[in-house]
Amino acid sequence: MTASLLHPSDQSTQRIILEGVSWKTYLALLKDMGDHRASLLAYDQGILEIIMPSGLHEIINRLLERMVIALTEELGMKIKGYGSTTLNREDLQRGVEPDSCFYIQNVDRILGRELDIEIDPPPDLAVEVDITSSSRRRFGIYLQLQIPEVWRYTQQKGLVIYQLQSDEYVECELSPTFPKISGAVLMQFLQRAETEDDNSVIRSLRQWIRDSVSY
């Protein structure tokens, strides 16, 4: 495997940590920065994290997003993607913008309405891509929001699937959402992006699902 895509030496995700930030200031920053921006914000009881993803980060995230969509299509499942939508809970004094997030099991509960995370269920699946910055703080926020499943990509471990169990995230072999899909299988298709374009990777994934997975 070449070092140009999944294991680069020069593509860094930048991160800034600010302490003592009030909830009011956090909301004002979200409003001032707007929706069309490259940075992602996470807020945890006064601590504000600003993440500026690298190009590589976005390449991997977009491909994982397409893989989730392909899985739901091939398996006849509903889905509503919310991308990096801001998930705020004032009552918890926490907020986060995932790299990607999706409603799958609970999609019918949020269709046709404006999402309000304080009264609606959290997304069923969140995706985190860690190139050079840790998602440890965001995992703590996901825990408080009770997001049941998180996929995390790192250069060291590849794609790992976590499930929320008894107030902690536990690494598991198979996805709770897609019970016959493992992180190892998904990583095989991610690695194909070294030498193939995204459409070719997704076509291969779709064919593998048809050949190997039946519900």
Residue ranges and CATH numbers for the domains of the chain are 54-212 (3.90.1570.10)
125-130, strands of its sheet edge to edge: 80-81, 100-103, 125-130, 149-154, 158-165, 168-172
Nearest 10 degrees: CA dihedral of 53, 199, 154, 126? 70
Asked whether residue 10 carries a pLDDT value surpassing 60, the answer given is no
Closest C-alpha among 52, 23, 15 to residue 37: 52
DSSP 137-157: HHHHHHHHHT--EEEEEETTT
Name, in order, each residue with C-beta under 8 angstroms of 197's C-beta and a sequence gap of 6 or more.
none
Measured CA to CA, the distance from residue 107 to residue 81 in angstroms comes to: 9
Question: Residue 80: what residue type?
Answer: K
Asked whether residue 133 carries a pLDDT value surpassing 70, the answer given is no
Q: What are the pLDDT digits (tens) for 43-95?
A: 999 999 998 888 888 999 999 999 999 999 999 999 999 999 999 999 999 99
Q: What is the mean pLDDT of residues 122-149?
A: 90
pTM value is: 0.90
| Residues 7 and 155 sit within 8 Å (Cβ to Cβ) | yes
For residue 105, what pLDDT band results from cuts at 50, 70 and 90?
very high
Measured CA to CA, the distance from residue 149 to residue 17 in angstroms comes to: 26
Residue bearing tokens 């690695």: 191
Q: What are the pLDDT digits (tens) for 181-203?
A: 999 999 999 999 999 999 999 99
- pLDDT at 155 (0 to 100): 86
Phi and psi at residue 13, to the nearest 5°: -85, 125
Rg value, the chain, Cα: 17
